[in-house]
Amino acid sequence: MDTAVAAGNDGSDFPQADSSAMAGAAAWPKHSEARERLLQTASDLFYREGIHSVGIDRIIAEARVTRATLYRHFPGKEQLVAAYLLGEDTALRDSIAAAVASIPPDKILDAILEGIADDIGRHHTRGCPFINAAAEFPDPTSEVRRIVDEHRRWFRSSLEQALESAGHSSPKAGAASLVLLRDAALVGGYLDGVEATRAAFIRTAKTVLAAD
């Protein structure tokens, strides 16, 4: 697998996304270079190879940090996994916020759909990080699952808002359908091929939007 398509905290690409959000990110507390290298490496490995398949030894070797550095910044592996997922969540939230800030309400849905279609070919080529993590963490009370659930709640409600501001007649039902299709696009892009999935996703989503 080509490292150029590795997932990390580089977010999804949405058409016409404004890069001014990146300037805002510079105001965040700055973590050490080693910590960032660690988290980036772990995130890549977790997304590309799965979470339980990748051990601490592998992560620190590839990140070129020591064990002590890892445990200094993260109390345990599960917290490292949580940080990976929160990174993915933040990146997508930033992308959606940027798109909403720069695209008129009547165009935002198309932009989101295009963004999803683009994402499955450019970044999330190994499925959805949240769905994949949920496959490996069956315990609904775990922190991983809490993050997954919160992410999905946010995404659904973002779609509802977009549908509402676009004047859609049933934003809740429309969002429910689009969440289904988003999930399916990520799974299908990984397992059935990007091009065919992209076409089916767009066509089906348009059908759904046109039906209301």
Interface of this chain with its own copies, residues 147 to 176, rule: CB under 8 A? 148-149, 152, 156, 173, 176
Alpha carbon of residue 36 to chain centroid: 18
188 binds, among DNA, its own copies, none (CB under 5 to 8 A by kind): its own copies
CA quadruple 163, 164, 166, 169: dihedral sign: positive
158 binds, among DNA, its own copies, none (CB under 5 to 8 A by kind): none
- If binding is defined by CB under 8 A, does position 177 make contact with its own copies? yes
Which of 174, 162, 180 is closest to 211 using CA atoms? Answer: 174
Interface of this chain with its own copies, residues 53 to 82, rule: CB under 8 A? 53
Which of 88, 92, 1 is closest to 48 using CA atoms? Answer: 1
Indicate the burial class of 122 (C-beta count within 10 angstroms; 0-12, 13-18, 19 or more).
Answer: middle
Q: Which residues bind its own copies (CB under 8 A)?
A: 1, 48-50, 52-53, 126-127, 131-132, 134-138, 148-149, 152, 156, 173, 176-177, 179-181, 183-185, 187-188, 190-192, 196-197, 199-201, 203-204, 207-208, 210-211
